Amino acid sequence: MLKLLLDSILDFIFIYECEICHRHLEDKKTIICLDCLHKIEKVEPIDMKQSFELKFGNHGYITKAFSCFHFKEEGIVQMLIHELKYQNKRTIGILLGEIVGNAIKHDVDFTSADALLPVPLHKIRLRERGYNQSELIAKGISKVTGVKVINDMLIRKKNTQTQTKLNFEQRLENVKDAFVLNEKYKDFVVGKRFAIVDDVITTGSTLNECAKELIRSGASQVLALSVAVAS
């Protein structure tokens, strides 16, 4: 009962108008309007290059990456991702995915990928949350680019603890060998190019582990797409 009441209060706050410009929103599940989203914390290409070299440069599994926004503590993007992951605001995932899709729709490296692969959740986490936020983001990207989403190619075999409180080394260890290729794709994967999709890139360790498994299985190239990147 209390939860219902809380939900309707939250709805009253979040539905109908943009949190920033207070414009009327058609979609009651979004929090801010597209115009405002486009104004916030965009990642400049030069920042992105430096940031990705740091995260992916030495491993060689991910050859190209793109993120739309800077992930800052207490920032709007963090708020949106939080709503997406923990408040069942699934539409936010699609919306953020569409923004990523629009940003890369002329980049043939991404649009000619054979498939978008959302970073998988462990089956226990998936059952708790009811949906994979990265899959929703991938669906949004797919809507714009037409690249298909395959959500069961990678399987998360380790139910890793949440990374939020871990340092760089702990994160590496936490996700090490956490992903395995779904057997049914062992022929399909060979020679293909994939773009892995995640909500936020922090150290890059999760994406590196996904890419490592794909390359080890015969994929020719792995790219990465995310809504936000932490510097």
Write down the residue that tokens 């936490």 correspond to.
Answer: 174
Q: What are phi and psi of 193, to 5 degrees?
A: -110, 130
Tell me which stretch binds Zn ion (CB under 5 A): 12-20, 47-55, 73-81, 138-146. Answer: 12-20
**Residue 76 interacting with Zn ion (CB under 5 A):** no
Restricting to residues 30-59, name those near Zn ion by CB under 5 A.
Answer: 33, 36
The helices-and-strands tally (H runs, E runs) of the chain is 10, 6
Place of tokens 């069961």: 152
Q: Cβ of residue 229: shortest distance to Zn ion, in angstroms? A: 23
Decide whether 18 or 210 has the Cβ nearer to Zn ion.
18
Query: Taking CB under 5 A as the rule, does residue 79 contact Zn ion?
Result: no
Instruction: Report the residue number, 18 or 222, with the smaller CB distance to Zn ion.
Output: 18
User: Can you tell me the distance from the alpha carbon of 190 to that of 230, in angstroms, rounded to the nearest whole number?
Assistant: 32
Select 36 or 144, whichever has its Cβ closest to Zn ion: 36
- Touching Zn ion, residues 114-173 (CB under 5 A): none
SS3 106: coil
User: 15 or 36, CB closer to Zn ion?
Assistant: 36
Does 9 help bind Zn ion (rule: CB under 5 A)?
no
Sign of CA dihedral 190, 191, 196, 201: positive
Residue 15 touches Zn ion, criterion: CB under 5 A? no
**Two tokens, residue 167:** 């340092």
Strands 154-156 vs 179-181: parallel, antiparallel or unpaired: antiparallel
Query: Which residues lie near Zn ion (CB under 5 A)?
Result: 18, 20-21, 33, 36
